[in-house]
Structure 1
Amino acid sequence: MKFKISLILLLVFFLLLFSWINLAFGFGISPPRVFNDHLIPGAHFEQTITLTQARPETPLKIEVIIDAPEIEDWFEIKPGKSFTIPAGVQQFPMKVSVSVPKDAGYATYQGKLTIRAIPAEGGEGQIAVVTGAVADIQLRVSGEEFSDFRLKGVDTPNIEEGDPIKVVMKLENLGNVKVRPSRVYLRIFDQYGQGVVEEGEATGMNWIEPFKTGKVIAKMPNKLSIGEYWAEIEIYKDGELVLLDKRKFHVVEKGALGKIFGFHWWRWVLVAGVILAGILTWKLKLWGKALAKLGIRIKVEKIKR
């Protein structure tokens, strides 16, 4: 009976000790996986794993071990397989890049990404507590084309009179082929959001490459005068409505968007140049007086032609 009680107490002690270590030297990653189910030979994609430490007051050394013998050379870790998270940084983004060879076979490849966290500083005689985390690797390579995207933001910036209305969409391409919305339709309302003053298709969209995140811009010609307007935006993916939103924008006079406090940027550059030239001239005069006191004179002669 005493043996069982002692064993239970010992287990409780180790559980408390393990919990204390996790709290004191806590380290975690998110997401805990590198997963892609839609790769094709020659594809490239990147994923960010966020490393989080509980005690950011000290530097933390990171070591990354890739345990995936068949595909280890597909991986690149940025900033490297060994690096240090500076003191004061609680969350650190680590980028995992995967480049599939063009001659890769069709298969599902698996492995593990072990991330070890070691305190970068420690006193003599102290035991370094090594913590870490494991991210599972699962990559499927096939010849199937897959098209999909995630809409991560939309904006209608101000425009100058006579310029087309712009819809700026931030897209994350989830597929292995280039993508863009299948359709963008606009209804422009007056400043009160009541009457429709113009409507039509926004066209001229660019593409986002596979597994990349970028901005797609759609434009619609218009005859709007200077003023405030509301744009009702419809964004479609493969004919299906994925976003219906309203955004405010302004139409301003021609050339107004290039102005800073009412002046064009080049005027500010000119003013800055004049001020800088004045400061340099004043400094040269001071240096000339200082050299003159030391008995050093600089004589500048004109070159005769």
Structure 2
Amino acid sequence: MRVGMWLLVCGIAGGFFIANEARAGLGISPPYVHATHLVKGARYSSVLYIVQGQPDEDLKIKADIELPARVRPWVTLDTGLEFTIPKGTRQFPVGVTVQVPPDVELGNYNGRVVFTSSPGQAGQVTIALAVQASIAIVVGNDTFEDFGASLRHLDIEEGWDPRVYVRFDNRGNIPEAFSGASYELYDQFNSVRLAFVQKNADFPETLPFVSKEYTVEFPINFNLSIGQYWGTVSFYKNDKLIASQKGVFSVLKRGSLANSSASILGFIRTYWMYETIILVLAIFAYGVFLRKRRRARSLYL
């Protein structure tokens, strides 16, 4: 009997321990920082995500960057070395930046960053869990080009020129920019070409290992009326096609794409009299309701 009771107690305690350990479980994605193809003076950025299974409480984290002494100052975290993951956050981003000095020796540098959670509060199972990501830094003297772009046609207002959203992803170790672009404008049936625009300058430069978002306008010498149109845009680097997109966009009434807060303020200014009348009627109706309720109570008593 005593043995059975002992096994029961151990089973309950073990289940409690396992449940709390699972609840406190941590993960990391991706489990590495690969800052390869760097040159002297280069700057590299990436993001690690600390993942929780059940984020029921704020979680204090301490980070430890383990690298050779001369390399350790190159690596920084945007969170600092001690931070708190707020309650309810399942995926918490940590930005990692590698800044290579201009006078560093060429070579490979390896290490890791370890994230350790603080033990639970008094009365709870005290478990300090840790996750880690490996760090690989390679500094050389060769240039490495690797970039691409995603595009999207944007809606515009009357009087605006066609415009395209660009996300430029530079995965290489030198700055990059488009050298040219072309834009073909078609009617709503994609059957009649209305304009052809070429652009050969004023493209934003994207730094190494950085993603940059911006908008490119393509001036035309006439105004588009309200409606839908087709557009085909192509971006080039040294006569090589980098990205192309064909899609539909809309021309909207002037002021349709204005700042939402400004639109709300404009609505309030325009209809303030009606809003005041509605507020007064609501207050009056609530007063009538209270009087009837009090009268009903007095009759019941």
Task: Please indicate the TM-score interval, normalised by the length of the shorter structure.
Answer: 0.7 to 0.9
**Deviation at residue 57 of structure 1 after TM alignment:** 0.5
Which range moves more in the overlay, 110-119 or 175-184?
A: 175-184
Shift of 1:85: 0.8
Alignment-derived partner of residue 80 in structure 2: 80
Distance 1:176 1:269, change over 3 A: farther
2:198 aligned partner: 201
Deviations 1:268-296 (A, max 9, x none): 39949x99xxxxxxxxxxxxxxxxxxxxx
Show the 5 A alignment for 1:90-239. 90-119=90-119, 121-124=120-123, 126-161=124-159, 163-203=160-200, 204-222=202-220, 223-227=222-226, 228-239=228-239
Q: What residue number does 1:56 align with?
A: 55
- Unaligned segments of structure 1, at least 5 residues: 1-15, 276-305
For residues 153-183 of structure 1, what are the alpha-carbon distances to aligned partners after superposition, in whole Å with 9 as ceiling and x for unaligned? 433341442x432222011221222212343
Q: Which runs of 5+ in 2 are unaligned?
A: 1-14, 274-301
Look up the match of 1:42. 41
Q: Report if aligned partners of 2:21, 2:127 keep a CA contact under 8 Å in 1.
A: no
Deviation of 1:94 (Å)? 0.7
TM-fit CA distance, 1:52: 0.4
User: Retained in 2: the 8 A contact 1:258–1:265?
Assistant: no
Other structure's SS at 1:185 match: strand
Shift of 1:221: 2.2
Matched residues in 2 for 1:22 and 1:232: separation?
55
Displacement, 1:256? 3.5
Confirm or deny: 8 A CA contact 2:155 2:251 kept in the other structure. Answer: no
Residue pair 2:234, 2:244 contacting (<8 A) in 1 also: yes
C-alpha contact 1:60 1:86 (8 A) present in aligned 2: yes
Give the number of equivalent residue pairs. 254
Measured in 2, the distance between the counterparts of 1:152 and 1:18 equals 48
After superposing on structure 2, the runs of 4+ consecutive aligned residues of structure 1 that deviate more than 4 Å are: 16-22, 257-261, 264-267
Note the C-alpha offset of 1:17. Answer: 11
Q: Which amino acid aligns with 1:186?
A: Y
User: Helix, strand or coil for the counterpart of 1:177?
Assistant: coil
Show CA shifts across 1:242-268 (max 9, x none): 433222223456x5457579xx86983
The whole-number CA distance in structure 1 between the counterparts of 2:23 and 2:94 is 22
Q: Indicate if the aligned counterparts of 2:155 and 2:252 stay in contact, CA closer than 8 A.
A: no
Contact kept, 8 Å, 1:184 with 1:233, in 2: the verdict is yes
- Calculate the TM-score normalised by the size of structure 2: 0.72
**TM-aligned CA deviation for residue 89 of structure 1:** 1.0
* Distance in 2 separating the partners of 1:51 and 1:36: 19
Query: Does the Cα contact within 8 Å between 1:172 and 1:212 map onto a contact in 2?
Result: yes
TM-score, scaled to structure 1: 0.71
The CA distance in 1 between the partners of 2:238 and 2:17, in whole Å, is: 52
- Shift in CA distance, 62/190, structure 1 to aligned 2, threshold 3 Å: same
Residue 73 of structure 2 aligns to a residue in which SS?
helix
% same residue: 25
Q: Is the 8 A contact 1:156 1:247 kept in 2?
A: no
Change in Cα spacing, 1:17 to 1:208, as seen in structure 2 (3 Å) is same
Distance in 1 (CA, whole Å) between partners of 2:23 and 2:236 is 49
- Which residue does 1:286 correspond to in 2? none
Residue 117 (structure 1) shift: 2.3
Structure 1 residues 236 and 94: alpha-carbon distance in aligned structure 2, compared to 1, 3 A threshold: same
Q: CA 1:266–1:25 in 2, change beyond 3 Å: closer, same or farther? A: closer
Cα distance between partner residues in 2 of 1:75 and 1:22: 31
Partner amino acid, structure 1, of 2:161:
P
Once residues 142 and 232 of structure 2 are traced to their aligned partners in structure 1, the CA distance between those partners, rounded to angstroms, is 36
The offset of 1:186, in angstroms, is 1.7
